[in-house]
Amino acid sequence: MHKFVLLLLVSGLCFSFGCAANPITGEDELMLDRDYHHDIKLGKDIAPKVEKALKGRIKDQVLQDYINGVGHKIARFSHNPDFDFNFVAVNDKSVNAISLPGGCIFITKGLLIKLENESQLAGVLAHETVHVVARDAENMMSKQVGMSALFILAASQARTQGEVAAANIAMQLVAVKYSREDERTADLGGMDYMFRAGYNPNGMVETMRILQKEEEANNSCDFFSTHPSPENRIDYLRARIQSHYLDGIAGTKTGEDEYRQNVLDRLKNLPDEPRR
């Protein structure tokens, strides 16, 4: 690397880094930038690589607009709506959902066809929204791939190195495994977001049950290779509904018809393999 580029990288870090409280955990952490500008840039650099690794976006604009619309309803109630949220359905047949720094969230076709209504979809997207706001992906990436890769990616001067780093990070993010505590925070925080957005919180419990059946039926459920087993998650989510949401559940949305029309019926009419 040229000294000039190195100097730019180092000087960039001095101006950009600082400590700030994580809005979900309340703990101080190293931040790329207080206004999340770098989170968003990092996510946008990685997003095309992750999308490609997940077999590209599903080519149905009605379905994409619906998924993105449900996601944005939830993101409005997040601790930081300033992230650049974007919810994308991808062709991969694995049962999975993935969040990138800055707000890009992917959900796979393999997971979409297992779900039965809009509140279950809201549960998945709300869970991933908490991962974004808590900056879980970025914190994990800084441990797994090292801050040096993030530094290179954050520096627009290092275009070639940035491309290589983005590809590496994209592959790691698809298989990233968060801590049990991060997942619990994403479950409970996500249930709060979806409830405030008007969704029936039972949707998240139903999603866990669907994924549990999937795990029992075949051991290749990718959501559980990257997430803890659902057994005790169902228990603490049901307890949360009893203690926090029971009085407000009447009138919340389940959205079975909307989900069937905008997702399930449309997926049936799509070709199995993406057109290239």
Residues 107-146 that bind Zn ion (CB under 5 A): none
Least distance from Zn ion to the Cβ atom of residue 99, Å: 8
Query: Minimum distance between the CB of residue 264 and Zn ion, rounded to whole angstroms?
Result: 24
Element (H, E) at 254: none
CB of 189 to Zn ion, least distance (A): 11
Pairwise CA distance, residues 160 & 128, whole Å: 30
How many residues touch Zn ion (CB under 5 A)? 2
Q: What is the CA radius of gyration of the chain?
A: 19
Shortest distance in whole angstroms from residue 83 CB to Zn ion? 16
Q: How many angstroms separate the CA atoms of 18 and 157, rounded?
A: 21
Piece in contact with Zn ion (CB under 5 A), picked from 2-10, 33-41, 178-186, 233-241: 178-186
Look at residue 28 and give its three-state secondary structure.
Answer: strand
Beta-carbon contacts of residue 134 (< 8 Å; ≥ 6 apart)? 22, 23, 24, 25, 182, 185, 186, 189
Q: With the C-alpha atoms ordered 198, 126, 211, 234, is the resulting torsion angle positive or negative?
A: negative
Please identify, using beta-carbon distances, which residue of 126 and 158 lies nearer to Zn ion: 126
Nearer to Zn ion, 54 or 165 (CB): 54
223-to-97, 110, 136 alpha-carbon distances in Å: 7, 10, 16
Site for Zn ion in 203-242 (CB under 5 A): none
Among the residue ranges 37-45, 62-70, 176-184, 208-216, the one whose residues contact Zn ion (CB under 5 A): 176-184
Task: Name the β-bridge partners of 98.
Answer: 106
**Residue pair 241/201 in contact by the 8 Å Cβ criterion:** yes
Strands 104-108 and 97-99: antiparallel
- 39 versus 183: smaller Cβ distance to Zn ion: 183
Which lies closer to Zn ion via its Cβ, residue 118 or residue 183?
Answer: 183
58 vs 125, beta carbon nearer Zn ion? 125
Q: For Zn ion, which stretch binds (CB under 5 A), given 29-37, 177-185, 235-243, 246-254? A: 177-185
Residue number with CB closer to Zn ion (89 or 165): 89
Which CB, 9 or 104, lies closer to Zn ion?
104
Lookup result for tokens 């441990």: 143
Biggest CA-to-CA distance, the chain: 63
Q: What residues from 181 to 200 belong to the interface with Zn ion (CB under 5 A)?
A: 183, 186
Q: In the structure encoding, which two tokens stand for residue 29, read together?
A: 């952490």
* Closest of 205, 209, 173, 206 to residue 187, by C-alpha: 205
Closest to Zn ion by CB, 186 vs 234, is: 186
Residue with the CB atom nearest Zn ion in the bound state: 186
Tokens found for residue 148: 């040096």
- We find the least distance from the C-beta atom of residue 23 to Zn ion, in angstroms, to be 17
Q: Which residues bind Zn ion (CB under 5 A)?
A: 183, 186
